[in-house]
Amino acid sequence: MGKIKKSIDTQDLLKEAFKAREAAHAPYSRFKVGAALLCDDGSVFTGCNVENASYGLTVCAERVTVFKAVSEGRKKFAALAVVADTPEPVQPCGACLQVLAEFSPKMDLMLIMGGRKGKLKSCRLNQLLPGAFRLKRGRH
Ligand code: THU
């Protein structure tokens, strides 16, 4: 795959996601996930899943990553890489897709999914979430 933007290519972003995965806190599922988000200004934010003894409080790697970026003033994203040690590339969950949709009005965010042995898949957000929930102030 070619360059995505500003000299960060797919392989670099995946590498960042795999590095971030090492910090995953997943003592309950033992399923470690890492993510890396490329912002339109060229900056990259990373994250991992953070589980909790009260299971429902667990936050996926993708959401941790988006929230890190947004809390640092970024809201425009070009691509998200997400990786796990799975035979097939890992697919973001529906909740994370909805959170990503919030910051991708055209649903064109590039998603790069990675698994074991360099297995790769990529698509745009609208392919995984054809219809996101939208709330327009004063219009419902
Ligand atoms: N998980 C993620 O971090 N991202 C995904 O896309 C799927 C699931 C995490 C949540 C939980 O810590 C573990 O994987 C098992 O569900």
47-102: pLDDT as tens digits: 999 999 999 999 999 999 999 999 999 999 999 999 999 999 999 999 999 999 99
Name the catalytic one among 16, 22, 51, 62. Answer: 62
- Whether the pTM exceeds 0.85: the reply is yes
Query: Could you tell me the strand order of the sheet in which 110-114 lies?
Result: 44-48, 33-39, 77-84, 110-114, 120-124
Task: Specify the DSSP class assigned to residue 54.
Answer: S
- Of 4-18, 20-34, 45-59, 61-75, where does mean pLDDT reach its minimum? 4-18
For the chain, list the domains and their CATH numbers.
3-127 (3.40.140.10)
CA of 32 to the centre of ligand 1 (A): 7
Give the SS3 label for residue 14.
Answer: helix
